[in-house]
């Protein structure tokens, strides 16, 4: 499976955006003008009604001004739909590739009596057992119950390298549409036709199965409330204007309403949510609900497995500690020889350490014709060689100590102390001996991933607490946690311990995220607010989680949190910008409209717009164009930086609050310089 480097992880990627996508998405935007679709977005529905009203008014009382307002109001609605269409369109290509993988295939159904019959894949049901051999396309989601096979999952993950799936354990799950490359397996079907993993992915990446999240619903209610307030205000403005001998037309009132309500965020809100899902897809993470993406942005506690997430997973040789009176070069020679027959990652790391730190020539077993090699086994826990009158052994301290005693040798207290010190530091000691002589100790260290400490420091600055979960003893766990910079550690953890910890954190009002791949992780994944299941894991784990990582990279949890944060920051920033826009447009339009009747308003008419008509039209044009200008930002997301909430708020207000106030003044003035020259407007 492909993995994501820890060093590259802080950069939150997004799907590509090109101006050409605006043009290709235009037909879809026009189809979205259906009132049944528009009513789902109250703000833009009001704009649609305003467009219809101004069009009717322009037909009844034609003028350049009325038709200009009508055209730009329609463009405002279309541009809003365009944002959604572009966001949804970015999932079409991935959906198409998934549909290519989702093909009707025949399955060999295994009956209870052992007979095999061919049936269509769409006729399979939960509990059915099917036989797949090399070259077969797996007909549906399931768990391997017999055998082992190499599987091509490139249609799902994009990774061309095959993976091994086997019965039992946490790597038994297979996905329909993937291909068996070798061997024979028996699969128990775990999903009904139409509800497979690929079916859900297609629905989600296309946006057809996307539901509004709680925060999105709440923001929609707020925007609808603001719209009602401005509707009442504009309606009340009509009799005031008439009383002041400055009557306003229905076209003017409609334009004014559209300019004052939060159309910018109303137009982009749905696109922001779709783009958040897309960014996860770009990271090969499938979110089973938008709520999970949103929750990831509010996570305050992360539960992370030690092995494979915080550490590389394989202990590596870190240091050689010679016994008293033994030259370290002699120890290095013996350690290298004793490790040549050890094919484990730990054994290979000893050979590499001796070569790189002590300059020893790389040697192979084939270089010694008269040597008797002793390979490492789980029973002996030793490896070594008998060569040239020497019996060299390397292995677990207890095993080597016992072997030395059998040879008639003794172990010095210094070596025992070195072994104890390495164990206390969280390492694994391997003892090297030559017959009766103990030469020293190899310090095996569980290597912390490069850059992971910096990632944890970033999370800490954001107020996120990290907890390392491991089955190691407390001493080893504390040593690793200290090196990695983790806030807390849960040692000798059982599935029950994980579940209890999650409930404890949630009881304190914190949102919890975790990863898992096994059936024993399912209860904790289901309990966590954000549960990221590995694609290689069991069906139970994938069903329990609300996200699935197609790369099966536990470190991806850190990216998920960053993407969730980016979603919330983008939504907050553009909301701030939109509301600030409305305030600025208020000061731009109203003084220009009433300055003739109320000369005192001249002090507020700081932009010196050409006329009331040009002021209103300029504001309407700016209101429409700013939506298009912000589509790339909505899709790409506001750049995410690890910082505190106070720092994020200050940055948001400075850039998008102040920017939202200033931009309309500049934009409307520039547009006014052009439209004021149009006959019938200026």
* Residue 327 bears catalytic tag: no
Q: Tokens in use for 572?
A: 């907050």
Q: How far apart are CA 12 and CA 667, in angstroms?
A: 31
φ/ψ of 637, rounded to 5, equals 95, 145
Q: Please count the other Cβ atoms lying within 10 Å of the Cβ belonging to residue 342.
A: 24
Torsion of CA 482, 486, 490, 494, to 10 degrees: -120
DSSP symbol at 537: S
Spatial CB neighbours of 90, under 8 Å, sequence gap ≥ 6: 15, 16, 17, 21, 275, 278, 635
User: Going by DSSP bridges, is the β-strand pair 106-110/116-120 parallel, antiparallel, or unpaired?
Assistant: antiparallel
The DSSP-derived string for 394-412 is: EEEHHHHHHHHHHTT----
In the block, which residue shows the tokens 């060569």? 387
Q: How far apart are CA 242 and CA 551, in angstroms?
A: 66
Q: Tokens in use for 285?
A: 């993470």
φ/ψ of 515, rounded to 5, equals -115, 160
φ/ψ of 183, rounded to 5, equals 70, -175
3-class SS of residue 533: strand
> What is the enclosing helix (H) or strand (E) of 216?
helix 214-243
Find out whether 147 and 92 touch, Cβ atoms under 8 Å.
no
In the block, which residue shows the tokens 């528009």? 38
| 382-387: strand order across its sheet | 311-322, 437-448, 428-434, 390-396, 382-387, 372-374
User: Going by DSSP bridges, is the β-strand pair 465-469/301-305 parallel, antiparallel, or unpaired?
Assistant: parallel
Q: At what angle do helices 556-594 and 645-652 cross, to 10 degrees?
A: 30
The DSSP-derived string for 442-456 is: EEEEEEEPTTHHHHH
Q: How far apart are CA 531 and CA 287, in angstroms?
A: 10
Residue in 84, 305, 418, 521 annotated catalytic:
305
3-class SS of residue 281: helix
In the block, which residue shows the tokens 């001004």? 65
3-class SS of residue 352: helix
In the block, which residue shows the tokens 């600025």? 584
Q: How far apart are CA 21 and CA 11, in angstroms?
A: 24
Q: Tokens in use for 238?
A: 């009509």
DSSP symbol at 656: I
| Catalytic residue IDs | 305
């Amino acid at each position: 499976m492909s993995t994501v480097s820890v060093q590259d992880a802080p950069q939150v990627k997004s799907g590509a955006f090109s101006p050409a996508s605006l043009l290709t998405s235009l037909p879809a935007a026009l189809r979205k003008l259906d009132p049944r679709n528009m009513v789902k977005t109250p703000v833009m529905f009001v704009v649609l009604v305003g467009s219809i009203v101004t069009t009717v008014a322009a037909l009844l009382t034609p003028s350049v001004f009325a038709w200009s307002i009508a055209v730009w109001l329609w463009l405002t609605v279309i541009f809003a739909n365009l944002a959604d269409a572009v966001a949804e369109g970015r999932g079409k290509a991935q959906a198409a590739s998934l549909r290519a993988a989702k093909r009707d295939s025949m399955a060999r159904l295994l009956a209870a009596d052992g007979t095999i019959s061919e049936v269509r894949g769409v006729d399979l049901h939960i509990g059915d057992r099917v036989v797949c051999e090399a070259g077969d396309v797996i007909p549906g989601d399931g768990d391997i119950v017999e055998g082992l096979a190499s599987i091509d999952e490139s249609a799902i993950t994009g990774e061309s390298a095959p993976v091994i799936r086997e019965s039992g354990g946490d790597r038994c799950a297979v996905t329909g549409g993937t291909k068996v490359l070798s061997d024979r397996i028996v699969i128990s079907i775990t999903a009904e036709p139409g509800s497979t993993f690929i079916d859900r992915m297609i629905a989600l990446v296309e946006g057809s199965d996307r539901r509004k999240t709680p925060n999105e619903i709440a923001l929609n209610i707020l925007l609808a409330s603001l719209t009602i307030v401005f509707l009442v205000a504009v309606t009340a403005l009509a009799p005031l204007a008439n009383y002041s001998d400055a009557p306003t037309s229905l076209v003017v009132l409609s334009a004014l309403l559209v300019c004052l309500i939060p159309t910018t965020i109303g137009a982009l809100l749905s696109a922001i949510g779709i783009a958040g899902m897309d960014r996860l897809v770009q990271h090969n993470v499938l979110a089973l609900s938008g709520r999970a993406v949103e929750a990831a942005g509010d996570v305050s506690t992360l539960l992370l497995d030690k092995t494979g997430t915080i550490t590389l997973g394989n202990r590596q040789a870190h240091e050689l500690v010679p016994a008293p009176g033994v030259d370290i070069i002699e120890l290095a020679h013996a350690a290298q020889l004793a490790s040549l027959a050890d094919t484990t990652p730990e054994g290979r790391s000893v050979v590499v350490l001796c070569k790189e730190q002590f300059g020893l020539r790389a040697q192979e077993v084939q270089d010694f014709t008269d040597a008797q090699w002793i390979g490492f086994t789980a029973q002996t826990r030793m490896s070594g060689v008998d060569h040239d009158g020497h019996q060299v052994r390397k292995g677990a301290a207890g095993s080597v100590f016992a072997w030395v005693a059998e040879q008639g040798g003794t172990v010095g207290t210094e070596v025992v102390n070195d072994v104890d010190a390495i164990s206390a530091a969280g390492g694994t000691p391997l003892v090297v001996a030559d017959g009766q002589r103990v030469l020293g100790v190899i310090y095996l260290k569980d290597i912390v991933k490069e850059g992971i400490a910096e990632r944890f420091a970033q999370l800490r600055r954001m107020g996120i607490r990290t907890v390392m979960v491991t089955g190691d003893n407390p001493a080893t766990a504390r040593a690793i946690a200290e090196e990695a910079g983790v806030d807390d550690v849960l040692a000798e953890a059982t599935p029950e311990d994980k579940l209890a910890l999650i409930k404890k954190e949630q009881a304190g009002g914190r949102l919890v995220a975790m990863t898992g791949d096994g059936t024993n992780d399912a209860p904790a994944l289901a309990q966590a607010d954000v549960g990221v299941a590995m694609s290689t894991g069991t069906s139970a784990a994938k069903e329990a989680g609300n996200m699935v990582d197609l790369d099966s990279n536990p470190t991806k949890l850190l990216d998920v949190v960053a993407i969730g944060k980016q979603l919330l920051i983008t939504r907050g920033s553009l909301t701030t910008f939109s509301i600030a826009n409305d305030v600025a447009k208020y000061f731009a339009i109203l003084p220009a409209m009433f300055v003739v009747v109320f000369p005192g308003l001249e002090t507020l008419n700081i932009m010196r717009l050409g006329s009331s008509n040009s002021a209103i039209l300029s504001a309407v044009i700016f209101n429409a164009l700013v939506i298009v200008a912000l589509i790339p930002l909505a899709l790409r997301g506001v750049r995410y930086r690890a910082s505190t909430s106070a720092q994020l708020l200050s940055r948001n207000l400075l850039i998008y609050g102040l920017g939202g106030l200033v931009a309309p003044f500049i934009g409307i003035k520039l547009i006014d310089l052009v439209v004021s020259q149009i006959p019938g407007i200026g």
